[in-house]
Structures are given as structure tokens and as C-alpha cells.
């Protein structure tokens, strides 16, 4: 009975964590998209800005081939992660491990929502006016071709390289220049926690994969 209770509790945890991440992520993105012009920046502190950009790539603005390929890759990766997370729930994995998986899953779905639906329901963003909702299907891009909204910018250190340094001397330097969103944060935190505290579970995945390849 206690095992069934754990499955129910962890399963409910996955649903709640993913739902909360999606809600927070989409509220932030929609507010930024409908209240700020593209590339507009709001200074919160000397090291924290709300800087509205859009990108066609992965987390932190990285790129991976065409937009359609990237969106399909996201769909497949999320499907695999959903299956694996549910399998861990049924196998009575540690709740903290399931929590980390849920954070990664919620973040991945959050960015996928942008790709799937933003192009269908929003007008294109511009440096001169804010975006706005349009009748579904009449937006700036077709299905799976929407752009991901990013806004968090943390230039923790901003300085100039010394002139005596070869090649980069005199160039402007910003420590931690990527612009990212709440979904990216959840993915990154989940991955870091997995690497730090769940090496046993990760090594078991590797071992099972190697055993399957040998057979």
C-alpha cells in the first residue's frame, strides 16, 4: 500500500511541478511579449536586466540546424522524457530524483509551447511596437515555427580586456552574456542537480544502455 501511495504522490508531484513551471514561464513570456518592444531593455539593477529578445534555437539562444528539425527534436526528446519520468515514478524512484526530472520536463515543454503556438496566435514582434494576440492561425509563423521568448540578462561582470593581451586586448568583456527565460532556468537547475546528486541513477542508465547494446 505504501508503494502505491508513493507512486500516486510522485505522479501528482510531476503534474504539479510541470504545471507550475508552465504557468510561470508562459505568464512571464506573454507579459514581456505584449508589453515590451523587441530588444527593449529594462534595467533592474547594475547586473540584472529584463532584455526582450526572440530566438529560433535552443536554450540560451543556441542553434541546431533548421527550425523544423529543432522543433521535431524537441517533440521526440519530450516524449522520451515523459516516458522515462513515468517509468521512474512506477519504479518507485526517489522523490527528489523525480522532482529534478519534472523540472527538466516542465522547462522543455515551456519552450516547446513557444515553437508550436506563438507563431499562430501572436503578431510579429518589432523594435517599434509590442506584439499582440491575433485570431488563431493568422500569426507571424506556421505551426512549429514560432520563436522562443527570452528576457533574463545577468551581466555580472562587465569590463574591458587589458590592452596588452593578444587578439582580445581592448575588447569589451561581459561575464555571463546569454539571455534566457524561466524554462531555461528550470532545465539548467534540474540538469545540474542530477549531475551533482544523482550520479547513481545516471550511471544505471548508462549501464543498462551498454548491456542492451552488447546483447
Q: Read off the pLDDT of residues 121-138 as tens digits, 9 standing for 90 and up.
A: 999 999 999 999 999 999
Mean pLDDT score of the chain: 87
**pTM score, whole prediction:** 0.85
pLDDT digits (tens, 9 = 90+) for 44-85: 998 999 999 998 765 555 555 567 788 888 899 999 999 999
Question: Pseudo-torsion of CA 142, 143, 145, 150, nearest 10°?
Answer: 110
CB 135 within 8 A of CB 29: no
Q: Average the pLDDT over each of 29-38, 64-73, 97-106, 177-186 and give the range with the smallest value.
A: 64-73
For residue 188, what pLDDT band results from cuts at 50, 70 and 90? very high
114 assigned to active site = no
Q: Could you say which of 25, 91, 114, 150 is catalytic?
A: 150
Residue ranges in the chain assigned as alpha helix (H): 2-35, 67-90, 95-113, 119-121, 182-197, 199-214
CA 17 to chain centre: 14
150 assigned to active site = yes
Q: Is 25 exposed, middle or buried (0-12, 13-18, 19+ CB in 10 A)?
A: buried
Orientation angle between helical segments 182-197 and 199-214, nearest 10 degrees: 80
d(CA 10, CA 4): 10
Nearest to 142 by CA among 125, 120, 111: 120
Amino acid at each position: 500500500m505504501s508503494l502505491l501511495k508513493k507512486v500516486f504522490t510522485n505522479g501528482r508531484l510531476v503534474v504539479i511541478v510541470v504545471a507550475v513551471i508552465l504557468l510561470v514561464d508562459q505568464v512571464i513570456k506573454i507579459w514581456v511579449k505584449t508589453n515590451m518592444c523587441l530588444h527593449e531593455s529594462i534595467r533592474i539593477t547594475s547586473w540584472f536586466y529584463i532584455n526582450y529578445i526572440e530566438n529560433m534555437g535552443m536554450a540560451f539562444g543556441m542553434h541546431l540546424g533548421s527550425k523544423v528539425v529543432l522543433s521535431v527534436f524537441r517533440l521526440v526528446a519530450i516524449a522520451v522524457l515523459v516516458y522515462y519520468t513515468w517509468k521512474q515514478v512506477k519504479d518507485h524512484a526517489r522523490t527528489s530524483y523525480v522532482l529534478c526530472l519534472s523540472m527538466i520536463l516542465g522547462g522543455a515543454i515551456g519552450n516547446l509551447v513557444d515553437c508550436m503556438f506563438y507563431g499562430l496566435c501572436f503578431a510579429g514582434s518589432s523594435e517599434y511596437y509590442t506584439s499582440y494576440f491575433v485570431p488563431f492561425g493568422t500569426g507571424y509563423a506556421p505551426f512549429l515555427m514560432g520563436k522562443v521568448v527570452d528576457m533574463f540578462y545577468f551581466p555580472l561582470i562587465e569590463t574591458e580586456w587589458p590592452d596588452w593581451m593578444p587578439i582580445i586586448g581592448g575588447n569589451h568583456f561581459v561575464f555571463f552574456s546569454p539571455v534566457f527565460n524561466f524554462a531555461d532556468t528550470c532545465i539548467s537547475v534540474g540538469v545540474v542537480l542530477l549531475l551533482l546528486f544523482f550520479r547513481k541513477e545516471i550511471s544505471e542508465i548508462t549501464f543498462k544502455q551498454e548491456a542492451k547494446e552488447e546483447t
